């Protein structure tokens, strides 16, 4: 495939706007290395301001793409999503290594074997917010235990019903959300809820929010 700065800039924009990985060919990074070498040689032959600026913008764009994709790959590893169709050759190797490390760590940190009989309550005294959150959610079917009008949802949050399966992703506030299954009802920060509703990936269950998210 032919690599250009315009192509890489569009790819960065696509990665930023998508929760999923953009499909790339196996040899993507090999082609990128060749392109970077060409630009670097051009700067060496004619180190004018325009060429130096082009090279600097190119490196920044590539670093942004790598970080965006790395974040999605690690999330897939964390949630054991094994689909690697969208990965490059290097990313497939990374995914296998990271998944192995995560599995090993989870095995080491699994305390269920030594759990004392009869003690199944994972909540701890003094962590009132965590206890309230656990009580509010029905973990089995991911439905919020609230009245039909969701009147007790705290200010700054909204309730939405997910319309399609959504993998774990980095939200506009930098926090990780998901993965969400189609039909699940979840409470999210209002800005994040509006993003999903406006993207036609969720329906608002708050009457006041239905008017905002149209």
Taking the domains of the chain in order of start, what are their residue ranges?
5-108, 121-212
CA 68-1-85 angle, 5° bins: 50
Please report the pLDDT score of residue 148 as a whole number. 41
Where does 18-152 have alpha helices with state H? 28-45, 49-78, 89-108, 128-136
3-state helix, strand, coil in the chain (%, to 5): 50, 10, 40
Please report the pLDDT score of residue 140 as a whole number. 36
pLDDT at 151 over 60: no
CA distance 208 to 181: 24
Decide which of 35 and 52 is more confident.
35
Class of domain 121-212: alpha beta
pLDDT tens digits, 106-116? 888 876 644 44
Please report the pLDDT score of residue 178 as a whole number. 81
Please report the pLDDT score of residue 154 as a whole number. 63
This model's pTM is above 0.75: no
Mean pLDDT of 98-102: 89
Please report the pLDDT score of residue 61 as a whole number. 93
pLDDT tens digits, 6-50? 999 999 999 999 888 999 999 999 999 999 999 888 888 887 777
In the structure, what pLDDT confidence band is assigned to residue 211 with cuts at 50, 70 and 90? very low
pLDDT tens digits, 54-92? 888 999 999 999 999 999 999 888 888 878 888 999 999
Please report the pLDDT score of residue 179 as a whole number. 83
pLDDT at 147 over 50: no
Residue 94, classed as helix, strand or coil, is helix
Give the CATH number of domain 5-108: 1.20.58.2050
- Given the structure tokens 């060409």, which residue do they identify? 38
- Number of other CB atoms surrounding residue 76 within 10 Å: 23
């Amino acid at each position: 495939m032919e690599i250009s700065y315009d192509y890489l800039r569009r790819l960065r924009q696509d990665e930023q706007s998508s929760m999923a990985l953009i499909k790339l060919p196996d040899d993507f990074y090999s082609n990128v290395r060749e392109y970077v070498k060409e630009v670097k040689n051009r700067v060496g032959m004619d180190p004018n301001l325009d060429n130096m600026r082009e090279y600097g913008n190119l490196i920044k764009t590539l670093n942004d793409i790598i970080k965006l994709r790395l974040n999605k790959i690690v999330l897939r590893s964390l949630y054991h999503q094994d689909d690697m169709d969208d990965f490059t050759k290097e990313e497939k190797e990374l995914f296998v290594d990271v998944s192995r490390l995560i599995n090993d760590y989870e095995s080491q940190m699994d305390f269920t074997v030594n759990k004392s009989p009869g003690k199944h309550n994972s909540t701890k005294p003094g962590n009132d917010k965590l206890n309230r959150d656990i009580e509010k959610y029905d973990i089995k079917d991911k439905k919020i235990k609230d009245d039909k009008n969701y009147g007790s949802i705290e200010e700054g949050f909204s309730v939405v019903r997910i319309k399609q399966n959504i993998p774990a992703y980095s939200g506009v506030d930098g926090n990780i959300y998901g993965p969400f299954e189609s039909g699940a009802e979840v409470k999210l920060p209002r800005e994040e809820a509006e993003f999903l509703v406006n993207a036609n990936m969720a329906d608002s269950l708050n009457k006041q929010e239905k008017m905002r998210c149209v």
